[in-house]
């Protein structure tokens, strides 16, 4: 049954507030499935199954699917429409508030390894990505439909880095596998989308530094876009400019460099050279 029919049948209206843009394009759906490289042994976490269009395809191709939906009306639709499906475990709740790894473990044989496949609600994309990247056990693959601009930011390289590309690339290797036009959704969003795939590393880079320290320094560096690194780091970390200048020199970074020009290795060397405030 198609999305329009389901909405009519259950007397539902898409809720903009919950980022409800339903996939109606077969090529776009296929692009998500292809990027996920699904195998019959896979354990999947889907965020926001909506009316269950992607969910059904996931249950056909993987061993076990845990889906988390915030909207109870949509959860009822999925329960009803996919009642014949044995390997789907639907949970009603907020993905940002629950312990998704325990949930997967409860329903599927194991949460290690697992993949995340989702058409993400746009209003929480960055929070969800952060949570998936930072919470152990991490998935080994994330395939998400996101705003095209978010995918472009995630795959950015120097001199166009940003805090999202630093975070994503610390944990994994991102690629934009498909561009998806706004017309692929109902209702049609204002911007185009893209399929973002992140292959996670077995462990994040620079474990000796620690991700808290790494992000403390990187966030400080990106904190004031117009300022050079010396000014941004000194004011955001509460350090003397001279100490920052010496640390940049020790890390072999140009004193006039800006945050977006730095590679991940540069941030790591900088963390090692900067004094703690």
Partners of residue 88 on adjacent β-strands: 65
Q: How far is the CB of 274 from ligand SAM (least distance, A)?
A: 36
Shorter beta-carbon distance to ligand SAM: residue 18 or 176: 18
Shorter beta-carbon distance to ligand SAM: residue 121 or 204: 121
Rounded to 10 degrees, what is the CA torsion of 103, 48, 125, 172?
50
Q: How far is the CB of 269 from ligand SAM (least distance, A)?
A: 38
Shorter beta-carbon distance to ligand SAM: residue 17 or 276: 17
Query: Looking at residue 18, what DSSP letter applies?
Result: G
Query: Looking at residue 115, what DSSP letter applies?
Result: E
Long-range pairs for 90-96: beta carbons < 8 A, 24 or more residues apart: 90/49, 91/66, 91/67, 92/68, 93/68, 93/69, 94/68, 94/70, 95/47, 95/48, 95/68, 95/70, 95/124, 95/128, 95/131, 96/124, 96/127, 96/128, 96/131
Residue sitting closest to ligand SAM (CB): 48
Which residues contact ligand SAM (rule: CB under 6 A)?
A: 18-23, 47-50, 53-54, 68-71, 74, 94-96, 119, 121, 124
CA distance 62 to 141: 14
Q: How far is the CB of 15 from ligand SAM (least distance, A)?
A: 7
Q: How far is the CB of 56 from ligand SAM (least distance, A)?
A: 10
Shorter beta-carbon distance to ligand SAM: residue 25 or 260: 25
Shorter beta-carbon distance to ligand SAM: residue 90 or 166: 90
Q: How far is the CB of 45 from ligand SAM (least distance, A)?
A: 11
């Amino acid at each position: 049954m198609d999305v329009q029919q389901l909405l009519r049948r259950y007397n539902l209206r898409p809720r903009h507030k919950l980022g409800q843009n339903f996939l109606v394009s077969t090529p776009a759906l296929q692009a998500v499935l292809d990027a996920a490289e699904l195998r019959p042994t896979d354990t999947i976490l889907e965020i926001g199954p909506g009316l269950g269009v992607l969910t059904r395809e996931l249950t056909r191709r993987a061993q076990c699917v845990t889906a988390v939906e915030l909207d109870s009306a949509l959860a009822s639709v999925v329960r009803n429409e996919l009642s014949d499906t044995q390997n789907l475990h639907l949970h009603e709740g907020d993905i940002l508030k629950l312990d998704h790894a325990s949930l997967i473990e409860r329903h599927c044989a194991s949460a290690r390894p697992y993949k995340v496949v989702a058409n993400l609600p746009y209003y929480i994309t960055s929070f969800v990505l952060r949570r998936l990247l930072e919470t152990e056990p991490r998935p080994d693959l994330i395939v998400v439909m996101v705003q095209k601009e978010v995918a472009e930011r995630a795959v950015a390289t120097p001199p166009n880095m940003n805090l999202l590309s630093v975070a994503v690339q610390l944990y994994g290797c991102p690629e934009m596998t498909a561009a998806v036009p706004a017309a692929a959704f109902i209702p049609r969003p204002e911007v185009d989308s893209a399929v973002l795939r992140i292959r996670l590393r077995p462990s994040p880079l620079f474990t000796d530094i620690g991700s808290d320290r790494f992000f403390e320094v990187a966030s400080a560096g990106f904190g004031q876009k117009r300022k050079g690194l010396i000014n941004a780091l000194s004011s955001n970390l509460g350090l003397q400019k001279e100490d920052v200048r010496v640390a940049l020199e020790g890390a072999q970074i140009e004193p006039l460099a800006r945050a977006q020009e730095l590679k991940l290795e540069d941030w790591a060397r900088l963390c090692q050279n900067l004094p703690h405030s």
